[in-house]
A and B are shown apart, each in its own frame.
Chain A
Amino acid sequence: MNETVLELEKLTIALPPGADRANAVSDVDLVLRAGKVTCLIGESGSGKSLVARSILGLLPRPHVRVGSGRILFEGQDLAVAPQDRMRAIRGAKIGMIFQEPMTALNPLHTIGRQLDEVLRIHTSLGKAARRARVLELIDSVHLPEPARIIGSFPHQLSGGQRQRAMIAMALLLNPRLLIADEPTTALDVTTQAQILYLIRELQREHGTSVLFITHDFGVVVDIADEVAVLQRGTLVERGTAGAVLGAPTHPYTKALIAAVPKLVPPAARPANMQPIIIEARNITKTYGTRGLFGGRVTLALAGVNMELRRGETLGLVGESGSGKSTLARAITRLLPIDSGQILLGGTDIARLPRHRLRPIRKRVQMVFQDPYASLDPRQRVIDIIAEGPIIHGTPAFRAREEALALLGLVGLDASAAKRFPHEFSGGQRQRIGIARALALHPEVLVADEPVSALDVSVQAQVLALLADIKARLQLSMLFVTHDLRVALQVCDRIAVMKQGEVVEMAPTAEIFFNPQHSYTKALFAAVPGGSWQDRKAS
């Protein structure tokens, strides 16, 4: 058995009075061993990040504090250790990396300076020796040209490179424990796979113990030796990865695992022979400025062709910056395009002036990614839903009646009508967003990452709702997502986008079993926990 590095004993973290519960987490027992990766998994609000922060004494005090229990590390209790003692441990014996590497790095300091800072705090090494160590670590996380990287600022690196730099920073002094708080959540799927591999590699090399916080079961499959499941502050299940993932015992764990979309396509359906409802012909779009003294121009859409048939769901998948959201917004005419045609029911709407566009708007509606930002916080739910029909000439009382009916359709209680968006959870808000889109009786629904901000169990419910509504109302849907599991579950056909181009477009089963383009293959290979899902499918 590997030696214990850190042990949580009945750890309880108290929340301030007035919070939704008294303790963020209660009586958590957890043992972290050398050379092992322990995944702490839970949905948002489960308290998993607070557990991570409590170990380093980084809780947002004085409001949130360790209420009781012990955090045992090298024979001392970190829960009651004085600040100067904690400072000697932070960065030297316990390293930490965060979810969003852009904001976790100081934007005004070079990468080299931020790494060097750790050595200046904890060692008495000279300048040359520190530089040598920094370069060595930058090299060990496989960043190209270490000498150039240490002179770069965070914004000059890609997301993956920034996270590599963070990892180098956390490992500079060979800590015994590395705490990783959702380190790959903000990254693209292929980058995520590389970072997970890197953490695995370095951790094996140095025998580091890793506490890995995540909400993603796919990631757990790829990296965990041991798993602990946190449900609203209570540790409901823990054990080896094989045991928890293969034969979960607690109902919550079972439900969570069941909610993860399978990495298998739906049964092949007969090809959709309905007429084409919306079609993009060779559309291009550039961002940026052309000025007197030059400027930067980014090609967001480089001559894209696609068509959507009545009653069909077309998935647009790709990594960030691939142009999938731009395409969705271009087709709805929310963004002007540079050239090309957009045919809606056979007529070109790409050049229509604003006033002639208005009657067309109601035929194509959007559901947005962020249910927090896409609803007006000062409007009551009923007004949010009824506003569209009223603009298009429906009498106000009729629009409100229909809005109430729509609330029922998306599974919300009629009492929701008089409330404001902030009174709802993320999943409920997304239901409101869907009701708003449906209020205009659209023919086409464009959903831009509609479930990526939601927890996996809520995500499953919203996807089921979308599928149900689509079937009932005979809608066509353009479904933008970065998550291949979700795409496989809901789409009839999938278009893979890369750098503003559709590199491959085919029926879902075909693209899954027989991907043609090398990029499509790479995307599927990078899906975390892919092999696990294969096993479950067979």
Chain B
Amino acid sequence: MRFARYMGYRLVTALPVIFGIIVLNFLLIHLAPGDAASVLAGESGAATPEYMDALRHKFGLDQSLGMQFLTYLSNMAHFNLGYSYRNDADVSGLILERLGPTSLLMLTAFGTAVVLGIILGLVAATGRNSWRDNIISLVSLVAYATPGFWLGLMMIVIFSIGLGWLPTSGFDTVGAGHEGWAEVKDVARHLVMPAVSLALFYLALYARLMRASVLEQTGMDYVTTARAKGQTERRIMTGHVLRNALLPIVTIAGVQAGNLIGGSIVVETVFGWPGIGTLAFNALQSRDLNLLLAIFFMSACLIVVINLAVDVIYVMLDPRMEI
């Protein structure tokens, strides 16, 4: 009951946040110079002022900013994200089509980073100052300092061009017509390198955080209590320390889940991954405002949802959280 009330409270307070995002997005995008008509005209080499005006009229760009905003708001209220003149398609359709690959990439990268990071951090902390700890610390330091796009390019050079193990780009093998497990395997092979280059930085970060967190927790009094009960070191680690040490990781990972969207733009471009990232990049290049606005809006909503999810997870992990 308390939980339901808390969720209701959080959802209601999320509404003004989302409205603020809509206003801010709209204003920011209209601050940028140039519009879709000028880009279209520029690409075709030359255009008469009459043609430009016709284009602007067609896109509704000749109306006042206030009118455009009201139209935008009313469309949003009807869950109508608008029409991309550039792609000649509904924005919602474009996004939905790309949402699958992006989600797959993000979830894989994020899941790998969190799970492997936690495991490595735990391994490093339990063997403090041993060779395991030193190797993990060294590798995570290097990974922490390596830019994702460079790593992506290097992997393409080594694993695709040099060794020929993995495909260089794309979501699946075009025209191969795989089905069932063969398709899954094909997509997975394409997924490996983008996911790794996106995940590695976060993996290193979580490994370091987890190591520090575990070390901090093992110095706590309740660990001594568990020892005084006669508990084994292994059970103290799994039964007592692990969950306590996870709490800061959940907080940080929650904040950073949003950053992954930003990171995915670069990685998707490097690997030609047909996701939201490449869509956003192209939309930006071609001043496709409707599409850009929709992508911004969707990313922002995603972050609101992720924050909510993190808080819920936190409440479940930590009984001290009052809701």
Contact with B along A27-43 (1 / 0, CB 8 A): 00000000000000000
Known contacts A58-B224, A98-B221, A103-B222; decide if A153 and B229 are in contact (CB<8 Å). no
**Are B225 and A118 neighbours in the complex by a CB distance under 8 Å?**
no
**Are A104 and B225 neighbours in the complex by a CB distance under 8 Å?**
yes
Closest residue of A by beta carbon distance from B220: A103
Bound CA span A485–B14, Å: 55
Distance (whole angstroms) from the CB of A6 to the closest CB of chain B? 15
**Are A107 and B240 neighbours in the complex by a CB distance under 8 Å?**
no
**Are A153 and B320 neighbours in the complex by a CB distance under 8 Å?**
yes
Contact with A along B232-255 (1 / 0, CB 8 A): 100000011001100000000000
**Are B226 and A106 neighbours in the complex by a CB distance under 8 Å?**
yes
Bound CA span A267–B132, Å: 69
Distance (whole angstroms) from the CB of A526 to the closest CB of chain B? 26
- The residues of A that contact B244 with a CB separation of less than 8 Å are 106-108
Closest residue of B by beta carbon distance from A122: B230
Bound CA span A121–B235, Å: 10
**Are B5 and A293 neighbours in the complex by a CB distance under 8 Å?**
yes
Known contacts A106-B244, A293-B9; decide if A92 and B230 are in contact (CB<8 Å). yes
Identify which of B224, B227, B229, B320 gathers the most chain A CB atoms within 10 Å of its CB: B229
Closest residue of B by beta carbon distance from A102: B221
Bound CA span A121–B231, Å: 7
- The residues of B that contact A104 with a CB separation of less than 8 Å are 221-222, 224-225
**Are B319 and A153 neighbours in the complex by a CB distance under 8 Å?**
yes
- The residues of B that contact A105 with a CB separation of less than 8 Å are 222, 225
**Are B228 and A88 neighbours in the complex by a CB distance under 8 Å?**
no
Partner of B224, one of A89, A98, A121: A98
Please tell me if A300 contacts chain B, counting CB pairs below 8 Å: no
Closest residue of B by beta carbon distance from A294: B5
CB-defined A-B contacts under 8 Å, sample of 26: A56-B227, A87-B231, A90-B227, A90-B228, A90-B230, A91-B229, A91-B230, A91-B231, A92-B230, A98-B221, A98-B225, A100-B221, A104-B224, A106-B222, A106-B226, A106-B244, A107-B244, A107-B319, A107-B320, A108-B317, A108-B318, A109-B240, A121-B230, A155-B320, A169-B229, A293-B5
**Are B320 and A91 neighbours in the complex by a CB distance under 8 Å?**
no
Bound CA span A330–B185, Å: 68
Bound CA span A466–B220, Å: 37
**Restricting to A72-125, which residues have a CB under 8 Å from any CB of B?**
86-92, 95-96, 98, 100, 103-109, 117-118, 121-122
Bound CA span A293–B4, Å: 12
Identify which of A87, A89, A92 gathers the most chain B CB atoms within 10 Å of its CB: A87
Distance (whole angstroms) from the CB of B301 to the closest CB of chain A? 22
Distance (whole angstroms) from the CB of B72 to the closest CB of chain A? 29
Closest residue of B by beta carbon distance from A293: B9
Distance (whole angstroms) from the CB of A290 to the closest CB of chain B? 14
**Are B319 and A108 neighbours in the complex by a CB distance under 8 Å?**
yes
Closest residue of A by beta carbon distance from B225: A104
Closest residue of B by beta carbon distance from A105: B222
**Are B230 and A89 neighbours in the complex by a CB distance under 8 Å?**
yes
Closest residue of A by beta carbon distance from B223: A106
Bound CA span A538–B264, Å: 82
Bound CA span A89–B228, Å: 9
Partner of B243, one of A86, A98, A108: A108
Closest residue of A by beta carbon distance from B5: A293
- The residues of B that contact A95 with a CB separation of less than 8 Å are 228
**Are B229 and A117 neighbours in the complex by a CB distance under 8 Å?**
yes
Bound CA span A90–B224, Å: 11
Closest residue of A by beta carbon distance from B318: A108
Partner of A88, one of B225, B230, B318: B230
Bound CA span A481–B293, Å: 61
Bound CA span A155–B319, Å: 9
Bound CA span A96–B226, Å: 10
**Restricting to A422-473, which residues have a CB under 8 Å from any CB of B?**
none
- The residues of A that contact B229 with a CB separation of less than 8 Å are 90-91, 117-118, 121, 169
Minimum-distance CB pairs A-B, first 8: A91-B229, A91-B230, A90-B230, A103-B221, A96-B228, A104-B221, A106-B222, A153-B319
Distance (whole angstroms) from the CB of B13 to the closest CB of chain A? 8
- The residues of B that contact A122 with a CB separation of less than 8 Å are 230
- The residues of B that contact A155 with a CB separation of less than 8 Å are 319-320
- The residues of B that contact A153 with a CB separation of less than 8 Å are 319-320
Closest residue of B by beta carbon distance from A94: B228
Distance (whole angstroms) from the CB of B213 to the closest CB of chain A? 14
Distance (whole angstroms) from the CB of B322 to the closest CB of chain A? 8
Closest residue of B by beta carbon distance from A166: B225
- The residues of A that contact B317 with a CB separation of less than 8 Å are 108
**Are B232 and A91 neighbours in the complex by a CB distance under 8 Å?**
no
Please name 18 further chain A to chain B contacts, defined as beta carbons within 8 Å, in addition to the given A87-B232, A109-B240, A117-B229, sorted by A numbering. Answer: A56-B227, A58-B224, A58-B228, A87-B230, A91-B229, A91-B230, A96-B228, A98-B224, A98-B225, A103-B221, A104-B221, A108-B243, A108-B317, A108-B318, A117-B226, A117-B239, A121-B231, A153-B320
Bound CA span A105–B318, Å: 14
Bound CA span A122–B228, Å: 12
Distance (whole angstroms) from the CB of B159 to the closest CB of chain A? 42
Distance (whole angstroms) from the CB of A310 to the closest CB of chain B? 46
Identify which of B5, B221, B232, B318 gathers the most chain A CB atoms within 10 Å of its CB: B221
**Restricting to B97-143, which residues have a CB under 8 Å from any CB of A?**
none
Distance (whole angstroms) from the CB of A61 to the closest CB of chain B? 11
- The residues of B that contact A118 with a CB separation of less than 8 Å are 229-230
Closest residue of A by beta carbon distance from B219: A60
Contact with A along B164-200 (1 / 0, CB 8 A): 0000000000000000000000000000000000000
- The residues of A that contact B239 with a CB separation of less than 8 Å are 117
- The residues of B that contact A88 with a CB separation of less than 8 Å are 230
**Are B231 and A117 neighbours in the complex by a CB distance under 8 Å?**
yes
Distance (whole angstroms) from the CB of A99 to the closest CB of chain B? 8
Contact with B along A168-184 (1 / 0, CB 8 A): 01000000000000000
Identify which of A87, A108, A166 gathers the most chain B CB atoms within 10 Å of its CB: A108
Identify which of B224, B227, B228 gathers the most chain A CB atoms within 10 Å of its CB: B228
Bound CA span A215–B95, Å: 69
**Restricting to A141-198, which residues have a CB under 8 Å from any CB of B?**
153, 155, 166, 169
Bound CA span A91–B228, Å: 6
**Restricting to A224-251, which residues have a CB under 8 Å from any CB of B?**
none
**Are B231 and A107 neighbours in the complex by a CB distance under 8 Å?**
no
- The residues of A that contact B318 with a CB separation of less than 8 Å are 107-108
Distance (whole angstroms) from the CB of A381 to the closest CB of chain B? 31
Contact with A along B291-323 (1 / 0, CB 8 A): 000000000000000000000000001111000
